[in-house]
């Protein structure tokens, strides 16, 4: 048996985090279940309306499921209210970025500024040795250097290491991912074996606070209307094609819903928050050689001259490229960025780019702007 530890488990009410708690309890650990109350649907949205669609996590039903699983496992269970922090660090960030014509990733913000920050703090206060979550990712330690390494989950279809690029060595030393070596089907089988109420619960596919996946409507409801930037739609050649009523309705690479009639496919190629112009063009206009990072972070020290594999969004395939200094000031890298070996399509400001070497996540950051070699 592994050494018995006191572990705080983040329980969202979904099958993954529930199985993580059950497995750790089965292994003999002292487990405490915690659900973070992040968003009050009855207060913020029309969730009482049967037509409102929320395929999300963190709802009241999810809290109830997490509590029932904890009772089944006979472990202590707490609901912690972090709604104010979620509003500031996730919802406000999400709204602000879209109003700037950028495309944010709220799941990364939630993991970075809420889940691990607050849960690790709470774990320390409760005398816990570690925090566990249901993420599909792995952690290993290099015994020669002592450095921790963040690795992809074994299930390539469920791997969530992308969302965890901002973890530090200190945090990795206190985190456990019980599902990292499993596939989703194996997790489902464990849930059935443990008799968990959510064993067959469907996946959460949408952003947890956006009803019906309607980003624009949400932003218009929650934003200061004076912050909405309206303007023109122009071709990459500068031709005026039309007007729009808010850059928050567009993202780089978008094809549908542009509002321009054309006999050929048109894509949003770039968005100017300064002028309010949304530029459109052919697919070729989406291709870029690289980008500049904002808030670049490395999980551990690496050789920066090597070539890496880079994902420019969660669903993209990794592409080879090199880390470069766009400011030209050598190793200090005040403005680090990536130049790809081959042109990449739809590099989107506001999204997260993550560096990999094989299965290892090395770090990453926000895409500030696209760049040419």
For 227, the 3-state DSSP assignment is helix
Q: Is 110 a catalytic residue?
A: yes
C-beta separation of 296 from 337 below 8 A: no
C-beta separation of 293 from 353 below 8 A: yes
Pick the catalytic residue from 57, 58, 110, 128. 110
The per-type count for the chain, helices as H runs and strands as E runs, is: 10, 17
Pick the catalytic residue from 57, 58, 128, 208. 208
Helices (H), the chain: 15-26, 41-44, 60-73, 83-86, 92-99, 106-110, 116-125, 169-172, 184-194, 215-222
Q: Is 58 a catalytic residue?
A: no
Helices (H), 87-183: 92-99, 106-110, 116-125, 169-172
User: From edge to edge, which strands make up the β-sheet containing 240-244?
Assistant: 240-244, 231-235, 278-281, 267-271
Please give the positions annotated as active site.
110, 208
């Amino acid at each position: 048996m592994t050494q018995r530890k006191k572990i705080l488990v983040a329980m969202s009410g979904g099958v993954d985090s529930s199985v993580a708690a059950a497995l750790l309890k089965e292994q003999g650990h002292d487990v405490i279940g915690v659900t973070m109350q992040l968003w009050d649907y009855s207060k913020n949205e029309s969730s009482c309306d049967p037509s409102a669609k929320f395929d999300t996590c963190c709802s009241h039903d999810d809290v109830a499921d997490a509590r029932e699983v904890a009772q089944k496992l006979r472990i202590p269970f707490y609901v912690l209210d972090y709604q104010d922090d979620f509003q500031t660090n996730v919802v406000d960030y999400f709204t602000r970025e879209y109003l700037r014509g950028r495309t944010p990733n709220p799941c990364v913000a939630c993991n970075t500024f809420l889940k691990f920050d607050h849960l690790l703090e709470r774990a320390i206060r409760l005398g816990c040795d570690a925090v566990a979550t249901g993420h599909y990712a792995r952690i290993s330690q290099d015994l020669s250097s002592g450095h921790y390494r963040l690795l992809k989950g074994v299930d390539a279809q469920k791997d969530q290491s992308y969302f965890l690029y901002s973890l530090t060595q200190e945090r990795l030393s206190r985190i456990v991912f019980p599902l990292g070596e499993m596939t989703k089907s194996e997790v489902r089988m464990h849930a059935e074996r443990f008799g968990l109420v959510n064993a067959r619960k469907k996946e959460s596919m949408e952003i947890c606070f956006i009803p019906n996946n309607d980003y624009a409507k949400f932003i218009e409801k929650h934003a200061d209307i004076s912050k909405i930037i309206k303007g023109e739609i122009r071709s990459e050649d500068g031709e005026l094609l039309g007007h729009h009523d808010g850059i928050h309705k567009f993202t780089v690479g978008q094809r549908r819903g542009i509002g321009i009639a054309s006999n050929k496919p048109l894509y949003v190629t770039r968005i100017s928050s300064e002028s309010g112009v949304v530029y459109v063009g052919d697919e070729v206009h989406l291709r870029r050689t690289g980008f500049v990072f904002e808030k670049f972070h490395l999980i551990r020290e690496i050789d920066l001259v090597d070539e890496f594999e880079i994902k420019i969004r969660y669903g993209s395939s990794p592409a080879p490229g090199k880390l470069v200094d766009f400011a030209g000031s050598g190793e200090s890298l005040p403005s680090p960025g990536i130049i790809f070996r081959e042109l990449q399509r739809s590099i989107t400001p506001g999204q997260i780019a993550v560096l990999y070497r094989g299965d290892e996540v090395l770090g990453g950051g926000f895409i500030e702007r696209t760049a040419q070699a």
